């Protein structure tokens, strides 16, 4: 059985070569992956403003005999995923409308659940391995994504990874690319509204053979097309910004997985830090 990840990869790899109408179909299928099994070819045609023939040709362009075979493949992959899914329990929604804290908490946990479904475990493991092998890890993003970039750099530093967040100030993102090499890795956070500066940084880094790991909200986010691999995070929020709940879980998960694979260096760093603090506290009078 074809896995949903394989189908998504097929769409992404062929996206740049598809005609305009077929790109509309591709984008719609990626954005509504879990709905496709319930839609016929005319539903897709109407939703995308493309002809039925374009929908069929799109399916053929990514290796299926037609839309029906593509729909069956997606349906089978989703059923297989659901059968092995282990969701954490959501908070009770009782009185959620009257209790804003409870409502926000429910939404945060929903983001975590949805993220656990979206993130391909092989991609997660690959991200851990790439970070471990990198000479240095650079993180980047603007707006709330800059906060998460700094958080990831801090967490990685705590587990003995040479990491730093890129600052888009006196030296623009694009002018920092020459400081990186193919032995480094660039982790970029990109959430709506997608920052053009972040996307341009990913594009230039990719063109210069610098591995890019994208952390974003959907399979067709602009940054995905310039990344070596990507991790999908759900960040729905009641405010106009993105929720950090699931993003924080991912960052903590990456740091924890790295620490478990990098135990000797992590322990050595912790001991060195502890020794420095102990010496400092002995010499300072409070």
Over the chain (286 residues), the average pLDDT of each successive run of 10 is 74 88 90 84 92 94 92 76 49 57 88 89 95 96 92 94 86 82 95 89 93 92 91 88 92 95 83 76 63
271 conformational bin, left if phi > 0, alpha if psi -120 to 50, beta if neither? alpha
209 conformational bin, left if phi > 0, alpha if psi -120 to 50, beta if neither? left
Q: What is the pLDDT of residue 1?
A: 54
- List the domains of the chain with CATH numbers: 4-83 (1.10.10.10), 121-270 (3.40.50.10490)
Q: What is the pLDDT of residue 221?
A: 87
> What angle, 0 to 180 degrees and rounded to 10, lies between the N-to-C axes of helices 245-261 and 263-283?
100
Q: What is the pLDDT of residue 100?
A: 84
Instruction: Give the whole-angstrom CA distance, residue 207 versus residue 18.
Output: 21
Q: What is the pLDDT of residue 157?
A: 93
Question: Strands 163-165 and 185-190: what pairing?
Answer: unpaired
Of 190, 274, 173, 198, residue with least CA distance to 232 = 190
Torsion 33-80-216-93 (CA) sign = positive
Q: Is the separation of the CB atoms in 197 and 220 below 8 Å?
A: no
Q: What is the 3-state secondary structure (H, E, C) of the chain?
A: CCCHHHHHHHHHHHHCCCCHHHHHHHHHHHHCCCCHHHCCHHHHHHHHCCCHHHHHHHHHHCCCCCHHHHHHHHHHHHHHHHHCCCCCCCCCCCCCCCCHHHHHHHHHHHHHHHHHHHCCHHHHHHHHHHHHHCCCEEEECCCHHHHHHHHHHHHHHHCCCCEEECCCCCCCHHHHHHHCCCCCEEEEEECCCCCHHHHHHHHHHHHCCCCEEEEECCCCCHHHHHCCEEEECCCCCCCCCCCCHHHHHHHHHHHHHHHHHCHHHHHHHHHHHHHHHHHHHHHCCC
Q: Is the separation of the CB atoms in 149 and 195 below 8 Å?
A: no
Q: What is the pLDDT of residue 219?
A: 85
Task: Name the maximum alpha-carbon separation found in the chain.
Answer: 79
Of 238, 227, 266, 209, residue with least CA distance to 107 = 238
Q: What is the pLDDT of residue 126?
A: 96
Tokens representing 217 are 């909200």
């Amino acid at each position: 059985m074809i896995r949903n990840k394989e189908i998504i990869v097929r769409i992404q790899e062929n996206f740049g070569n598809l005609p305009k109408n077929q790109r509309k179909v591709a984008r719609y299928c990626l954005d509504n992956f879990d709905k496709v099994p319930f839609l016929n070819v005319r539903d897709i045609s109407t939703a995308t403003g493309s002809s039925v023939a374009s929908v069929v040709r799109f399916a053929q362009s990514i290796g299926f005999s037609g839309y029906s075979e593509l729909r069956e493949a997606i349906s089978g992959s989703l059923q297989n995923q659901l059968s092995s899914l282990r969701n954490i329990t959501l908070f009770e929604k009782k009185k959620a409308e009257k209790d804003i804290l409870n409502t926000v908490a429910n939404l945060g946990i929903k983001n975590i659940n949805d993220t656990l479904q979206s993130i391909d475990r092989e991609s997660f493991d690959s991200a851990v391995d790439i970070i471990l092998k990198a000479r240095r890890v650079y993180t980047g993003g603007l707006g709330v994504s800059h906060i998460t970039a700094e958080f990831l750099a801090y967490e990685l530093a705590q587990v003995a990874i040479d990491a730093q967040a890129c600052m888009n100030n006196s030296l623009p993102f694009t002018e920092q690319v020459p400081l990186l090499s193919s032995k480094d890795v660039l982790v970029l956070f990109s959430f709506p509204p997608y920052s053009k500066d972040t996307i341009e940084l990913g594009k230039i880094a990719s063109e210069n053979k610098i591995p890019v790991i994208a952390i974003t909200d959907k399979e067709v986010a602009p940054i995905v097309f310039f990344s070596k691999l990507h991790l999908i995070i759900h960040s729905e929020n009641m405010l106009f910004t993105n929720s950090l709940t699931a993003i924080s879980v991912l960052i903590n998960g990456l740091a924890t997985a790295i620490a478990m694979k990098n135990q000797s260096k992590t322990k050595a760093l912790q001991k060195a830090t502890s020794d420095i603090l102990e010496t400092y506290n002995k010499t300072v009078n409070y």
